[in-house]
Structure 1
Amino acid sequence: MATHQPIPGTLLFDGEQARKGYALNRMCFSFNSADNREAFKADEEACMRRFGVAGEQARAIRERDVPGLLAAGGNVYYLAKFAGILGLDVQDLGALQTGMSKDDFKAMLVRQNEQATPHS
Structure 2
Amino acid sequence: MTDLPGHHYHIEIPGTTIFDGKQAMKGYALNKMCYDFNKAENREGFKADEEGWMEKYGLNDEQKTACRNRDVLGMINAGGNIYYLAKFAGIFKLSVQDVGGLQTGRTTEEFQDFLQSQA
CA distance in 2, matches of 1:76, 1:52: 19
How do 1:1-120 and structure 2 match up within 5 A?
1-113=7-119
Rounded to whole Å, the distance in 2 between the matches of 1:2 and 1:106 is 36
Give the Cα–Cα distance (whole angstroms) in 2 for the partners of residues 94 and 6 of structure 1.
Answer: 20
Q: Which whole-Å CA distance do the structure 2 matches of 1:24 and 1:91 have between them?
A: 21
Task: Report the alpha carbon displacement of residue 83 of structure 1 after superposing the two structures with TM.
Answer: 0.3
TM-fit CA distance, 1:55: 0.6
Which residue identity is paired with 1:102? Answer: T
Give the Cα separation in 2 of the matches to 1:101 and 1:92: 7
For residues 6 and 54 of structure 1, the distance between their equivalents in structure 2, rounded to whole angstroms, comes to 26
Identity between Structure 1 and Structure 2 (%): 58
Q: Taking structure 2 as the reference length, what is the TM-score of the superposition? A: 0.90
Structural RMSD (CA): 1.0
**Which runs of 5 or more residues in structure 2 are unaligned?**
1-6
The SS at the match of 1:31 is helix
Q: How many residue pairs get matched?
A: 113
Find the aligned partners of 1:102 and 1:108 in 2 and give their Cα distance.
10
> Residue 28 of structure 1: CA displacement?
0.3
1:16-47 residue CA offsets vs partner (Å, 9 max, x unmatched): 00000000000000000111011001000010
Unaligned runs of 5+ in 1: 114-120
Distance 1:90 1:37 in 2: 17
TM value normalised by structure 1: 0.90
